[in-house]
Amino acid sequence: MDRLDAILNARDVVAVLGRDVTVRLVDISNSGCLLQSETRLAEGTNGTLRLSYGGVDYVDDVRIMRCQAPIAGDNWFRLGAQFLWTTNPGERSLRRVVAGVNPGALQTLRFETGR
C-alpha cells in the first residue's frame, strides 16, 4: 500500500477513463462522418474510430461535433464526427479509403474514447 499511496499523492498523476462504443457508419466524407450509436456521446468528445473493411483495419482520430437524440420509434443517436489532424493520415487512415467505402456494407465500427 505504501507504493499506491505514493502514486495517489503525487502531484503529477494524470488518468484517462476510456470506453468502447459500437457505432454504425451512415455516411463518410474527406472531413468526417455520420455515425449512429445506441450510446449518447457528448459534443466535443475525442476518440479513435476503428473499422475493418476488406480484411484491413483502418483508424482515425475524431471529435464528436454533434449528437442528435433519437427520434420517435428509434433508439439510435446520430453523431456527426470530424476527422482530427493529430497526425498525417497514414495508409490505414479512414480518409484514404473514403471513395471506396460503401457505408451499407459495414456492420459495426468501434469508437474508443480516452485512448
Answer yes or no: are the C-beta atoms of 72 and 99 closer than 8 Å: no
Q: Is 63 exposed, middle or buried (0-12, 13-18, 19+ CB in 10 A)?
A: middle
- CATH code of the domain covering residue 100: 2.40.10
Q: Where are the beta strands (DSSP E) in the chain?
A: 19-28, 32-37, 46-53, 56-68, 77-83, 109-113
Beta-carbon neighbour count of residue 18 at 10 Å? 10
Q: What CA–CA distance (Å, rounded) separates 103 from 98?
A: 10
Asked if residue 59 is part of any domain, the answer here is yes
Asked if residue 9 is part of any domain, the answer here is no
Asked if residue 94 is part of any domain, the answer here is yes
Phi/psi for 62 (5° steps) reads -135, 160
Q: How many domains, the chain?
A: 1
Q: What domain range is 101 assigned to?
A: 18-113
Per-residue pLDDT of the chain (115 residues; tens, 9 = 90+): 577 677 777 777 666 677 889 888 888 888 899 999 999 999 999 998 887 777 778 888 999 999 999 988 889 999 999 999 877 777 777 776 665 666 555 545 666 666 4
Asked if residue 28 is part of any domain, the answer here is yes
